[in-house]
Structure 1
Amino acid sequence: MRKIITQILIFTAIYMAIFALMRAVMLYNLIEHDIDDWGGVFWHGLGHDMRTFSAIFLPIFLSGFLSYLGGFIKLNLAKFYQIISSIYIAIVSFIVVIFAFINYYYYQIYQNKIDMFIFGLKDDDTAALISIIWNDYPVILILLCALVFAILCGYLNSKILKIKFKKSNQPIWILIICNIILIYAYTVALRAHPVYNALRASTYQFSTFKPFNEISTNPIMALSWASKEYKNQANFPYVDINRGKELQKRLFDMFATTKQNSNHAKMHIHFNLMESFGLGLLQEDEKLEKLLLGSLYSHFQSDFVFKRFLPSTNGTIDSLNRILFQSPIINLTSSKFQKTKLPYTVIDIYKKAGYRVVFAYAGNSAWYNINYFLKAQGVDEIIDETILMQEYTNAKESKHPYGIKDEYMYNKIYEIFNNATKPTLIISLGISNHPPYLHKGKNELNLDLNSSEISRYSTDYKALLNAYSYANNSFGDYLNKIKNSKFKDKIIVAATGDHANREYKFDYKNEIAFGISVPFYLYIPQNLQNNIYYDKDRIGSHKDIFPTLYNLSLNETKYLNIGGKNMLSKPSDERFEFAMHINVWADNDGIYPISSTKGYRYQNSNTLKNSNDSFELDESKAQFHKLYEEFSYYQLAWRLGLMK
């Protein structure tokens, strides 16, 4: 038993040291250097590691008690145990090193601990993701490091098991007490607390500074949390109708209706979801904004743009689900409901109003099973890279792991509108600003940033900015064609980002919301601008996009209300003046990270950047995000018939 305890203590210490080093490197490289109080990260990190490795070493710990039976079963299992435990230790050692690297790079990209988005490797375009990982990260070096470390740990384990301990002559009652204390200590280690199960997925936050919470977690434990959350999403639990009524009383009614509209079902609608179209890259610098937006810049100046605007989530499929289907479930499109027609989706509402609905994607429509799900929802036509490469001879030359250049998608969209004989809704999704950042325009950017600016990027900043600029310029060129077309007075164009650019680091002190913000752009013909109220500094988020479009294009039409408002009508109900993201929400009073019990006031009324001026939350604000997410699932479950 003493050899086994020695094994556990030595290897736990080694693994904890590796993860402590990982956290130190993350704090130094990925967090602003003027942030103090790093100690909590390491202290809570030790707690997470203790829980993780106590669970991992539980089979070895239990083997120690089996060793007490050696005298009874008359078998010499020492050699067998040495081989099995060395293999086990080697495997764990390999995993520890791999996860240390994965955790670093995952946080670098997503600004988050490992979460269920990691299962995109399975649900997303797996081959494309593996290609990007292989090309962008030192995979061979990481695997070699892990393999060498595993071999060394296996060798060290064999040496530990050869240590000769003096035979104990203690009375049996002392040995019994010692073992009881040992079992209790191990139980405490498994729970990270002597009384209750601490450091769980629901209680791991210890700081109001989100990066500290994320970096302190153990990546192996974080993956287990993510796996449980991912599996739970597939369960689709039933909801209580009475709870739904209570939520509506505390929040808002589940349905709303547009006002009278003489232009009902007469306008084409184009909603464009742009890959990684974050505002953080522009950093409120007009000169840089003009350069990076390219031909889109003039449209930002002449049309309606909201910049105090948040995406729903940090992922494309998740944001798309929430915007189009009002679904907080990330894997809805590939779930058991993939062939179920959902009522009150964007598609359902426009189809019933007489629209032809088209989905256009510069990538492959097999992504997350979106093609089959959209067909089940009633989409009339799906355009993806396969079709685009057949119709445009040069498109194939621009193929990268996630798709082709956005310009070919825009060309096809323009063609559809130009030939349309009935009102048409086109929902489009571009990919050109997606890693590995291969797409760029004819006039390549050659920005020379200073060292502090360069440090904000976790990848080749020139390739990233060229892809960002190309995507914006392609959309701007498309808008130029729209505004010179025969249907320029019969179309509304809306665009936003699916999420901010993941490989651009933002300042968590003053950019809690600004760092993840995206714009909401609207082109509206002059004949629809008579009764418009426009406040460019109004706060909003993805939930507000289609309520705005519904009210611009549909007459007395009932639609699902998840707190959305018409961004171009005068505020009439303060309850809807908020922006919602899965990690933070905001209203006119301030910004509220979900990991904090405090709110943060704005630097001024024209920005989403927050000041250091914090305030304690009252009960309604403290509970709002949780209630909103519960309500989001309730309305989905209600539409799926999951009532009890």
Structure 2
Amino acid sequence: MTQFLKKSYFVLSSIYIALIAFLCVIFSFIKYYYYEIYKSKIDIFIFSAKDDNIQALFKIILNDYPIFTILILALFCALICIYINIKILKLKFKKYRLKPLMLIFSNLLLILIYVLALRGPFKHVAINVQNYSFSQFEVLNDIMLNPLMAFAWAHKQFKEENKFSFIDTNKAKILEEELFPLFKTSAKNEIAKNAKASIYINLMESFGLNLLEFSDKKHNFLGALDKHFKEDFVFTRFLSSANGTINSFAHLFFLSPFGNISTSSFQKQHLDFTPMQIYKKAGYKVIFIYAGNGSWQNIKNYLNILGIDEIIDENDLIKEYPKAAQTENGYGVADEFMYRKIYEILEKNPTNTLIISLSISNHPPYKIPTNELPILNDIPKALLDKLPYKKDKQENIIKAYIYANNEFGKFLSKVKQSSFKDSIIIAATGDHRVRDLSIDYNTQKALAFGVPFYLYIPKKLQNNIYYDKDRIGSHKDIFPTLYDLSLSEVKYLSLGGRNLLAKINDERLEFGFNEVVWIDKYGIYPKGSNKGYFYENNESLKDNNKDFKLDTYHKNFYENYKNLNYYQLAKRLKLTNE
């Protein structure tokens, strides 16, 4: 029996090693030739072959590439690996008899070393599809990547993309009549025509209302931002469009309900009617600044396709501010360096510039710089109860939240004392909830997915302002609000968005939409529920768990909105028969 197992292991391990060696060599050549053609790592386009003439494609491969030489080399490497494996297995070692505890310890240690060798240090993020860039030279990022891993990422994306579906044009027209027209034109604004103010919109990591609700006079979780929340326009009955960063980013800046568009087969296709395109057509320079890595969700490459003028990521920030490297947490550098760069850009470009930023400091693993933060002597017990972790982690979560808000607040204070304070409009919101906090579905069906929407508008740029801080809204309303404030009579894709600082002229648009819940002034409507829920009061997103029956419009709204949203994206991607 022992001899049988030994021989079986010889055979099976040799087959396994030979197969891995063969695939590694084959994929290394695929990576090389793929980069030669597409100038990128292996991505989802590799699966486009399924739609081509396979026979013709095979002929091209045979004629243009040394396919037989590659196969011979791969087989040779596989045989070499089999030979080495057998040689190792035949080595004779001196036998040691270990005590059971020592044997268990030795094996656990070996497993730990093996995991570390595969993954790398635990304090850093393992290389993944969101974070594989380490150099400003894209060629290095792409050619250094493991081709098998890149292929696996592409295959996962390919499977996800197959879920993309959309309604036909006739159904879409019916939904537009029932819900709202997809396109709108911004208001006539003579002030905006003359001012050409710069716009800065900040998408803040995990800036959720579910933690902000605990902020009060005694417990300041906003830090330096608290002052500006009291001075400027803030909406807190407001939802993020999605519950993940890339999904919210795609909704907000690409107007795409398909969150993976930047890594999909559409990643090299220009997309019309993005907010960036609207501002570029109006003569604006568009800049994207990210405290994280530009390879995240292929965002740097995709934004280039969409015509962004300048893209700055953590590599650029570290190069310009060497101290930023000390704050790197695996996902990016501290927000303060991002705000420092944004301020410098605005000093040089006080007008005609759109800046989009994405912060990172409020993302685990939390690595908070030693800046002075508001002292919290007494954290509310109700908040701690929602954080089912040890004390150190609870404090890190709260400190990261405060740090992120505090740095943005300090940036705003600096702007308001600057020479360009009257020529800049600043908007900020959260990408999603604070995920570490548990959800009480008896009172937080909407609040758990809420984020604030903040606006700084200089007096001289305020035009016919109507402000109701308790007005319902969501991410879909941010750019329609900014268009009315900064542009004049431009056509844009609204998706049900409207100017939150203008009087109500269409009740159908008075709603907020998130991928798991939607709201209007009457109540809260969780996805998949046949009931609506009353608010606790008219100033909060909290509910009292008291339900009411839905009419046909409210019962069908979620699916109708989702269908219309996917239709508009399919139309912009030229997938419809129009």
> What's the TM-score, normalizing by structure 2?
0.71
Partner of 1:519: 452
Q: Specify the alignment match of 2:222 in structure 1.
A: 293
Q: Name the SS for the 1:280 alignment partner.
A: helix
Q: Would the aligned equivalents of 2:314 and 2:333 in 1 still touch at CA under 8 Å? A: yes
Determine which of 413, 417, 428 is the counterpart of 2:357: 428
Letter in 2 for 1:608: L
Q: CA deviation at 1:449?
A: 3.6
What is the SS of the residue equivalent to 2:341? helix
State the superposition RMSD in angstroms. 2.1
For residues 474-553 of structure 1, the aligned pairs below 5 Å read 474-553=407-486
The residue type paired with residue 364 of structure 1 is N
Partner of 1:280: 210
Q: Taking structure 1 as reference, are residues 421 and 620 closer, same or farther at Cα in structure 2, changes over 3 Å only? A: closer
Alpha carbons 1:494, 1:523 under 8 Å: kept? yes
1:124 aligned onto 2:120 = no
Whether the 8 Å CA contact 1:282–1:288 is kept in 2: the answer is no
Match of 1:337 among 244, 260, 266: 266
| Equivalent in 303, 314, 317 of residue 374 of structure 1 | 303
Q: 3-state SS of the aligned residue for 2:435?
A: coil
1:612, CA displacement in angstroms? 2.4
Structure 2 Cα separation of the partners of residues 530 and 450 of structure 1: 41
**Number of residue pairs the alignment of both structures matches:** 426
Q: Is the 8 A contact 1:356 1:422 kept in 2?
A: no
What is the aligned counterpart of 1:597 among 520, 525, 530?
530
d(CA) in 1 for partners of 2:218, 2:555: 38
1:237–1:642 Cα contact (<8 Å) kept: no
Question: Using the alignment, how far apart are the partners of 1:391 and 1:354 within structure 2?
Answer: 28
Deviates more, 1:440-449 or 1:416-425: 440-449
346-355 or 390-399: bigger deviation: 390-399
**Which stretches in structure 1 are left out of the alignment for 5+ residues?**
1-119, 129-226
1:447 to 1:508, Cα distance in 2 relative to 1, 3 A: farther
Give distance in 1, aligned partners of 2:407 and 2:257. 31
CA distance, structure 1, for counterparts of residue 433 and residue 574 of structure 2: 34
Pairwise mapping of residues 252-331 of structure 1 onto structure 2 (< 5 A)? 252-262=180-190, 263-264=192-193, 266-287=196-217, 291-331=220-260
5 Å-filtered alignment, 1:58-77, equals: none
Q: Does 1:250 align with 2:201?
A: no
Amino acid paired to 2:275: V
Shift of 1:238: 6.0
Distance 1:632-1:288 versus aligned 2 partners, 3 A rule: farther
Distance 1:421 1:586 in 2: 37
Pick aligned residue for 1:411 from 330, 336, 340: 340
1:347 counterpart letter in structure 2: M
* Cα offset, 1:273, TM superposition: 0.2
Q: Which residue of 1 aligns with 2:384?
A: 454
Distance 2:381 2:484 in 1: 47
- Alpha-carbon spacing, 1:241–1:122, altered in 2? closer, same or farther (3 Å): farther
Match of 2:159 among 215, 228, 231: 231
In 2 relative to 1, CA 438–247 (structure 1 residues): closer, same or farther, beyond 3 Å? same
CA distance in 1, matches of 2:158, 2:216: 41
Q: Could you say if the C-alpha distance between residues 249 and 388 of structure 1 is closer, same or farther in structure 2, counting changes exceeding 3 Å? A: same
Deviation at 1:234, TM superposition (A): 4.4
- Work out the CA distance in 1 between the residues paired with 2:554 and 2:231: 36
CA gap 1:121/1:580 in 2 versus in 1, 3 angstroms? farther
Residue 302 of structure 2 aligns to which amino acid in structure 1?
F
* Cα separation, 2, equivalents of 1:598 and 1:298: 39
Q: Which amino acid aligns with 2:481?
A: T
Distance 1:589 1:239, change over 3 A: closer
Distance 1:582 1:531 in 2: 32
The structure-2 alpha-carbon separation of the partners of 1:635 and 1:121, relative to structure 1 and needing over 3 Å to count, comes to: farther
Q: 1:448, CA displacement in angstroms?
A: 4.4
Q: Is the 8 A contact 1:234 1:335 kept in 2?
A: no
Equivalent residue for 1:587? Answer: 520
Rounded to whole Å, the distance in 2 between the matches of 1:288 and 1:516 is: 25
| Cα contact 2:462–2:485 (8 A) shared by 1 | no
Pair 1:618-2:548 in alignment: no
Task: Decide whether aligned partners of structure 1 residues 516 and 239 sit closer, same or farther in structure 2, where only a CA change above 3 A counts.
Answer: closer
3-state SS, counterpart of residue 269 of structure 1: strand
How high is the sequence identity, in percent, across the aligned residues? 50
Question: Can you list the C-alpha shifts for 1:204-237, whole angstroms capped at 9, x where unaligned?
Answer: xxxxxxxxxxxxxxxxxxxxxxx99982534644
Structure 1 residue 337, shift from structure 2 partner? 1.1
Question: Given the superposition, is the C-alpha separation of residues 245 and 122 from structure 1 closer, same or farther in structure 2, using an over 3 Å criterion?
Answer: farther
Indicate if the aligned counterparts of 2:215 and 2:221 stay in contact, CA closer than 8 A: no
Selected match of 1:608 from 541, 545, 557: 541
Deviation of the 1:521 alpha carbon? 0.1
Moved over 4 A (4+): 227-230, 234-239, 444-448
Go from structure 1 to structure 2 and tell me whether the alpha carbon gap of 1:549 and 1:324 turns closer, same or farther (over 3 Å shift): same
What is aligned with 1:569? 502
Instruction: Flag the 1:452–1:351 CA change in 2: closer, same or farther, 3 A.
Output: closer
How many angstroms does 1:122 deviate by? 5.3
Equivalent position of 1:637 in the other structure: 570
Rounded to whole Å, the distance in 2 between the matches of 1:334 and 1:234 is: 13
Aligned partners of 2:165, 2:421: CA distance in 1, in Å? 46
Q: Contact conserved, 2:288 with 2:312, CA < 8 A, in 1?
A: yes
In structure 2, C-alpha distance between the alignment counterparts of 1:356 and 1:524, rounded to whole Å: 20
CA distance in structure 2 between the aligned counterparts of 1:554 and 1:499, rounded to whole angstroms: 28
Mapped to 2, the partners of 1:456 and 1:123 lie a distance apart of 31
- 8 Å Cα contact 2:516-2:526 kept in structure 1: yes
Task: Please tell me the residue identity of whatever aligns with 1:401.
Answer: G
Q: Distance in 2 between matches of 1:574 and 1:230?
A: 40
SS at match of 1:292: coil
**Residue in 2 that maps onto 1:388:** 317
Q: Matches of residues 54-93 of structure 1 in structure 2 within 5 Å?
A: none
Residue aligning to 2:14:
none
Give, in angstroms, the shift of residue 458 of structure 1.
3.8
SS of aligned partner of 1:438:
coil
Cα drift, residue 528 of structure 1: 2.0
d(CA) in 1 for partners of 2:156, 2:550: 30
Q: Following TM superposition, by how much is the alpha carbon of 1:251 offset from its aligned partner in structure 2, in angstroms?
A: 1.2
SS for the counterpart of 1:546 is helix
TM-aligned CA distance change 1:121 to 1:590, over 3 Å: farther
- Contact 2:240-2:430 at 8 Å conserved across structures: yes
Question: Is the Cα contact below 8 Å between 1:447 and 1:462 reproduced in 2?
Answer: no
Asked if structure 1 preserves the Cα contact closer than 8 Å seen for 2:525 and 2:531, the reply is yes
